[in-house]
Amino acid sequence: MDESELPRQWYNIVADMKNKPLPPLNPATKEPLTAEDLAHIFAAECAKQELDQTHAWIDIPEEVLERYKSYRSTPLVRAYALEEALGTPAHIYFKNESVNPLGSHKINSALPQCYYCKQEGTTNVTTETGAGQWGAALSYAAKAFGLECAVYQVKISMQQKPYRSSIMRTFGATVEGSPSMSTRAGKDIITRDPMHPGSLGTAISEAVELATTTPNCKYTLGSVLNHVALHQTVIGLEAEKQMEKAGEYPDTVIACFGGGSNFGGIAFPFMRHTLLEGKKTEFIAAEPSSCPKLTKGKFEYDFGDAAGYTPLLPMYTLGHDFKPANIHAGGLRYHGAGMIVSQLLKDGYMRGEDIPQTESFQAGLLFARTEGIIPAPESCHAIAATIREANKCKESGEAKVILFNLSGHGLIDMTAYDSFLNGDLTDPEFKG
């Protein structure tokens, strides 16, 4: 894909949705939040994007485009070897978002978020991270735009993948395991439950608290929110052009699902044609069986974090105090789903699919041995869902075109593969 063909705008699917997502609410007043409210913790431009329901296309700033060019476009690959191993008539494509120095799609939103913060005179950014893909991306982007960066990483993930905090430190960031003793929220959680393994919910509470109690510091989020999914649509927009060059259009689009940004990133540009032209495409969000908010969550207003610092968000949720099992796919250990995705799920445009941990690694291993890339544990869920669909095609004889997003590589997650190869991995049950 030629540099001149790179998308110059992100796609804001909300503008094209008949049923708009419900508004986020101020938990005290229950009033819909304004961009001004959100701008207390987020960059003003991100706050504006978060609530934009009218503009379908948002310009990517030149400075961000320049950074995108250093690693984009990312390859769209036909997985011939995987198809052959499965003996499926399906055409399997994947968009390879692992090919940047940070190793995942997270960089696509870290760059604009840090850019906007810098533009607005912010000096410090903070965030939560699970497996650490988002924290690593933000650490890099903060350094690139000259910002200081503090990251709260989920404690269990930090222990499972120690290299990721080293990566963040190498880029100059400060890293704390969450729940930590450095915030009121963290201390409250530890006091109640000293062995709490942490979750994205606890880490968000701590980062939000740091942002609201530190001068000139903004909070950034790696998923869940609308503006994050917006930035990630660069993935699907590229994929659409690349599929066109390959002379194909996907019957099925698959991504793993934590908060929804990687899913939205690949799916929304294709879903646009479903919304506007009634194109028939199946959209599958692959989530862990042990954290199944899409299939077993309730659609209701809930907090985005464990401590209840965030606005009330309308979403499919397992409850903000849900404590996810210690699976290796740290990026998927989140109780809720983004507001846009929740509305789309409610309206039947997509479905969730639950993947047990061992099935995800079995799929990841086959992918590594056929396609030569070791996928992140999160991405393994998308691969497992893809294999399920490809096997259905084998039975039915249909040559469906399946596109999935390889959100990241798993080179920092090798202890998980070790456990799997040693037969030590389990399938924790969902305890709702």
Residues found near its own copies in the complex (CB under 8 A): 70, 77, 98-99, 101-103, 140, 143-144, 162-163, 166-167, 169-172, 365, 368-369, 372-374, 409, 411-412, 414-415, 417-418, 421
| Closest distance of CB 366 from its own copies, Å | 11
Q: Which residues lie below 8 Å from residue 133, measured CB to CB, with a gap of 6+?
A: 102, 103, 104, 106, 164, 222, 331, 376, 378, 407, 408
125 and 147 Cβ atoms separated by less than 8 Å: yes
| Closest distance of CB 100 from its own copies, Å | 8
318 or 406, CB closer to its own copies? 406
Q: Pairing mode, if any, of strands 124-129 and 57-59?
A: unpaired
110 and 419 Cβ atoms separated by less than 8 Å: no
The strand order across the sheet containing 148-154 reads 174-178, 148-154, 124-129, 217-219
| Closest distance of CB 97 from its own copies, Å | 13
Hey, how many other C-beta atoms are within 10 angstroms of the C-beta on 19?
Answer: 9
| Closest distance of CB 99 from its own copies, Å | 6
Q: Which residue has the tokens 């291993």?
A: 365
State the amino acid at position 128 in one-letter form. E
The strand order across the sheet containing 401-406 reads 76-78, 91-96, 401-406, 252-256, 282-288, 351-355
| Closest distance of CB 349 from its own copies, Å | 33
| Closest distance of CB 213 from its own copies, Å | 27
Q: Which ranges of 332-376 does DSSP label H, i.e. alpha helix?
A: 339-346, 357-371
277 or 424, CB closer to its own copies? 424
260 or 377, CB closer to its own copies? 377
159 or 295, CB closer to its own copies? 159
* Pair of tokens at residue 388: 């399920």
The beta-carbon contacts of 144-147 under 8 Å, at least 24 apart in sequence, are 144/67, 144/111, 144/114, 145/114, 145/115, 145/117, 145/118, 146/118, 147/114, 147/117, 147/118, 147/122, 147/123
Q: Which residue has the tokens 């999935």?
A: 404
387 or 406, CB closer to its own copies? 406
Distance CA 131, CA 391 (A): 30
201 or 410, CB closer to its own copies? 410
Q: Which residues lie below 8 Å from residue 228, measured CB to CB, with a gap of 6+?
A: 109, 113, 221, 222, 259, 261, 338
Of 213, 202, 281, 277, whose CA–CA distance to 243 is shortest?
Answer: 281
| Closest distance of CB 367 from its own copies, Å | 10
162 or 432, CB closer to its own copies? 162
| Closest distance of CB 155 from its own copies, Å | 18
| Closest distance of CB 415 from its own copies, Å | 7
152 or 367, CB closer to its own copies? 367
399 or 414, CB closer to its own copies? 414
